[in-house]
Amino acid sequence: MNPRTSALDSLVFGVDIQSGDVRGDAPSYAVVAFDGEQFDRDVVSFRKLRRLIERETPAIVATDNVYELAADKDALVGFLRWLPDETKLVQVTGAERPESLSRVASRHGVPYGKEPMEEAEAAARLAAANVGHEVSAFADTTTVKVSRGRSTGKGGWSQDRYTRRIHGNVKSVARDVASKLDDAGLDYDREVTEKYGGYANATFTVDAPPTDIPVSQHRSGDTRIEIERERRDGIEFEPLVKRRDPVFVGIDPGTTTAAAVVAVDGEVLDVHSTRTADTAGVIEWLVDRGRPIVVAADVEPIPETVEKFRRSFDAAGWTPASDLPVDEKLHRTRDAAYDNDHERDALAAALLAFDAHEDQLDRISEKVPPTFDRDEVIARVVAGEESVEAVLRDLDTDESEEEESPDHDPRELTDEEKRIRELETRVERLESHAADLKETVREKDERIEEYEAELSEARREERREARERREVSRLERENGRLERERDEARERVDELEAKLERLKALWKLDHSNFADVSEGRDLVPVKVVEQFTTDAIERADEQYGLVEDDVIYLRDASGAGQSTAELLSAKAPRVVLRDGNLSDVADEVLFDRGIPVAPADDVTMQEVDELAVARESDVEAAIEDWKRRATERERERKTEMVDQIISEHRADGRGG
């Protein structure tokens, strides 16, 4: 990247993945830096992209899909935590249900191409024009923690003086932090843990982002300061600017109020349902998503609640000829996503209202020249029941006046102009009638205002209680998370304690300083296997570790087969002491592998806890005895083999 100039207030990075995948190895990214005039382009690795962001600190990092920068939500939270405080991450294609980049670029007149570098440039241009949603995982609440920078267990002088000094320094730094927060006029809550001589720690919960806090994170000597933003429950998408595009709205009133928003091109923008929000809350939700020009219901006549929404937006109303059946609602909403029947009914009403106005919208679009704001014309024609021509003349008044000439020759009006004149006359009559109706409406509105004034205080109280309930819910979720972490930590402690016990046992086996049993004798550790089975051998191996040259004691040697004997012989023990008799198969396998086997009664053993020890001399004697028996057994085997060969030879001679 080249050094930038500044045509915008700050720099915008457009980013699109060039090759690879963020979930795989070594993805590369197309990066476009845009300052309002110039474009700098480069292809970089993910690591270099992060270095660029740290060095340039752009105001916005824009992309068409944030999950090209993070493998999952946890990784995205980590990326947002790392991102400089001055930098926003923006998804230019929308929120949780993004559109295609080509469609967004086309709607806003931004050049678009399918190559990654062209998509990165389109993302940069859109973000610079305040198109898109900021991605956030953190609230505007920050925790500042002042704590000890070193342990109080050591010191160069008396431990009491050392501890008192550290706690005193923590208290001094905490007071300094509080003073700076007060000077900055920030609201905060403080919790301290008092200890001998001062504070062990002090935690400040500040209602501000880290950029507004006049304290920096550091560690110095006896104290340290840690700063961390409070994380939200999930990932949130906030629009860079509040859009006011014309939209169709469907309302399903009742105990659960549902609302649906559909764009003038028929796209479903959003659905919402609530049991707690009042009319004002739903209106606020709708205002954030556009400018309602038609408010629709799924029943006839229009319910009073829906009519109240219509009047609030000064929009046109729409209802079906008769109440919509469920099968028609299901069919019309089959391609849309919703969470419950209330949202389905609201969405069906909005979509069918769009269907009823679709031909009108097409005619309006055909008549509006490219130089006019099509959305403004649609809003005034559909909601205000004005003609397209009248709206265009109104919007083009200044231009028309400039085009007029005082020496213009009179001419005969065309049929179209005559028709326009007739319609204008009709409009004047209708406006006069509308004035009378407005006076009637004004009187009713005054009565409504009286009622609304009585309700305003109650609504404010209800909103305050709703905020308190949301905060209680958040704290309950946080408490649940902490309890789960505590339970996981306890389970981990139990696992580590069990592992420690096994390690202690292994240490006892592998060291010969058994002071409580040795009494000066030369002893050797014995590892006990309860039964001559595969499970028992594997369990002993897991608890103590069976390694080469171990002395193994089979407390019950009977019943083993070939595979079990082969498993034991693979451990290459020095000698196997047994209680009970081996099976012929197991005895043969161990003998063939050269594993000494001796009766446990021939060796003096003493058990210590779950372990055992034996005299080295007894073990050596048992091994020597096995070697003698093995030599004899081998000699007998060879003798039998020779006798068998002679017998077979004689038998062959007699047969010949």
Q: What is the mean pLDDT of the chain?
A: 83
In a domain, 126, yes or no: yes
Q: Do 255 and 368 sit in the same domain of this protein?
A: yes
| CATH assignment at residue 374 | 3.30.420
Spatial CB neighbours of 191, under 8 Å, sequence gap ≥ 6: 202, 203, 205
Instruction: Inform me whether the pLDDT recorded for 636 exceeds 80.
Output: yes
pLDDT tens digit sequence for 472-497: 999 999 999 999 999 999 998 988 88
Question: What is the band of 425 on the pLDDT scale with cuts at 50, 70, 90?
Answer: low
Map 140-169 to HEC letters: EEEEEEEEECCCCCCCCCCHHHHHHHHHHH
Task: State residue 428's pLDDT score.
Answer: 67
In a domain, 541, yes or no: yes
Task: State residue 204's pLDDT score.
Answer: 92
- Per DSSP, 185 falls in state T
Q: Do 248 and 305 sit in the same domain of this protein?
A: yes
In a domain, 349, yes or no: yes
| Pairing outcome for strands 198-206 and 218-220 | unpaired
In a domain, 384, yes or no: no
Q: Do 233 and 246 sit in the same domain of this protein?
A: no
Instruction: Inform me whether the pLDDT recorded for 395 exceeds 60.
Output: yes
Task: State residue 647's pLDDT score.
Answer: 83
pLDDT top residue among 160 and 593: 593
Q: Do 620 and 550 sit in the same domain of this protein?
A: yes
* Ranges 185-189, 345-349, 413-417, 614-618: which has the least confidence: 413-417
pLDDT tens digit sequence for 498-518: 767 766 655 555 554 444 444
Instruction: Inform me whether the pLDDT recorded for 415 exceeds 90.
Output: no
Q: Do 325 and 363 sit in the same domain of this protein?
A: yes
Q: Do 117 and 144 sit in the same domain of this protein?
A: no
Task: State residue 587's pLDDT score.
Answer: 87
Question: What is the band of 429 on the pLDDT scale with cuts at 50, 70, 90?
Answer: low
| CATH assignment at residue 185 | 3.30.70
Q: Supply the DSSP string of 41-55, one letter for each residue.
A: EEEEEHHHHHHHHHH
pLDDT tens digit sequence for 81-109: 888 888 999 999 988 778 889 888 887 78
Instruction: Inform me whether the pLDDT recorded for 409 exceeds 70.
Output: no
pLDDT tens digit sequence for 533-581: 999 999 888 887 888 888 999 988 888 888 998 999 999 999 999 998 8
Domain count, the chain: 5
pTM: 0.39
Most confident of 193-207, 339-353, 452-466, 582-596: 339-353
Of 168, 203, 238, the position where a domain reaches its end is: 238
Of 203, 238, 273, the position where a domain reaches its end is: 238
Q: Do 31 and 84 sit in the same domain of this protein?
A: yes
Task: State residue 374's pLDDT score.
Answer: 82
Q: Do 422 and 328 sit in the same domain of this protein?
A: no
Task: State residue 484's pLDDT score.
Answer: 92
Q: Which domain holds residue 21?
A: 12-131
Task: State residue 158's pLDDT score.
Answer: 52
Instruction: Inform me whether the pLDDT recorded for 243 exceeds 60.
Output: no
In a domain, 40, yes or no: yes
Q: Do 246 and 374 sit in the same domain of this protein?
A: yes
**Do 135 and 237 touch, CB atoms closer than 8 A?**
yes
Task: State residue 153's pLDDT score.
Answer: 59
Instruction: Inform me whether the pLDDT recorded for 149 exceeds 80.
Output: no
Task: State residue 241's pLDDT score.
Answer: 67
Q: What is the mean pLDDT of residues 591-598?
A: 91
* Ranges 112-126, 333-347, 408-422, 520-534: which has the least confidence: 408-422
Instruction: Inform me whether the pLDDT recorded for 609 exceeds 70.
Output: no
Instruction: Inform me whether the pLDDT recorded for 325 exceeds 50.
Output: yes
Question: What is the band of 152 on the pLDDT scale with cuts at 50, 70, 90?
Answer: low
Task: State residue 331's pLDDT score.
Answer: 93
Burial 198-227 (b: 16+ CB within 10 A, else e): bbbbbbbebebebeebebeeeeeebbbbeb
Closest CA to 534 of 488, 502, 566, 498: 566
In a domain, 3, yes or no: no
Q: Do 83 and 187 sit in the same domain of this protein?
A: no
Task: State the Cα–Cα distance between residues 232 and 76, nearest whole angstrom.
Answer: 13
**Do 425 and 419 touch, CB atoms closer than 8 A?**
no
In a domain, 516, yes or no: no
Q: Do 123 and 176 sit in the same domain of this protein?
A: no
Question: What is the band of 400 on the pLDDT scale with cuts at 50, 70, 90?
Answer: very low
Q: Do 451 and 569 sit in the same domain of this protein?
A: no
Task: State residue 242's pLDDT score.
Answer: 60
Task: State residue 332's pLDDT score.
Answer: 92
Task: State residue 403's pLDDT score.
Answer: 41
Task: State residue 345's pLDDT score.
Answer: 94
In a domain, 515, yes or no: no
Of 472, 506, 540, the position where a domain reaches its end is: 506
Q: Which two tokens stand for residue 612?
A: 């055992």
